[in-house]
Amino acid sequence: MVLDMNDVEGLRQGDRSCFENIFNEYSPDLYVVAYRITGNKSMAEDIVQDFFVKLWVNREKLSIYKSFRYYCFSAIHYASLNAVRTKYRNTELSEELEDTFSIEREMEQAELSEKIRSALDSLPEKCRIIFLEACVEEHSYLEIAQKYDLSVNTVKVQVSKAYRILREKLTREQLFIFFLIFLKSE
């Protein structure tokens, strides 16, 4: 994360530009967490909005005991759970959500999703579209085959091609990161 503690310190002192930096840096990931729990775009956006308003209002009383990132993720995690509880009173929440460790999993997941971004962009266009439709939007291979006038087998091949390329790209990106770390430690 490019965010440094200066922004958090600036936030404490009421610097609005620091606050905006923090918002830009964290809000998309936090939105994803809220969306994953609530499964609802407007609920997730409300939760994120509410969190940042409270963050600003209580900036002077901010107490962080793990890390600022953990603070944000756990706040969103619990706010989302509460929102879901309020909305679907009689629904049992899955054990995974109730688990505090899932906050750390969410944080790791957010990192991974950023890493995969450029890898996804590097997929050949046809491959990427099929991968997204099949895996992200969860359309069946048959649907996709019919939509693009392809055989089901071609779709399967494209999807596995996408996974292979993603793995390769992720490897390269990781090496690049290792390289950076190596340079830094020199």
Least distance from C-beta 83 to other proteins, angstroms?
15
Q: Decide if residue 70 touches other proteins (CB under 8 A).
A: no
Of 20, 17, 21, nearest to 4 by C-alpha is 21
Distance of CA 84 to the CA centre of its chain: 19
Least distance from C-beta 90 to other proteins, angstroms?
26
Of 22, 25, 46, nearest to 34 by C-alpha is 46
| Residues 9-68 interacting with other proteins (rule: CB under 8 A) | 19-20, 23-24, 27-29, 31-32, 35-36, 41, 44-45, 48-49, 52-53, 56-57
Query: Which of the stretches 2-10, 68-76, 88-96, 102-110 binds other proteins when contact is defined by CB under 8 A?
Result: 102-110
Instruction: Catalog residues that contact other proteins under the rule CB under 8 A.
Output: 19-20, 23-24, 27-29, 31-32, 35-36, 41, 44-45, 48-49, 52-53, 56-57, 108-113, 115-117, 120, 131-132, 135-137, 163, 166-168, 170-171, 174-175, 177-178
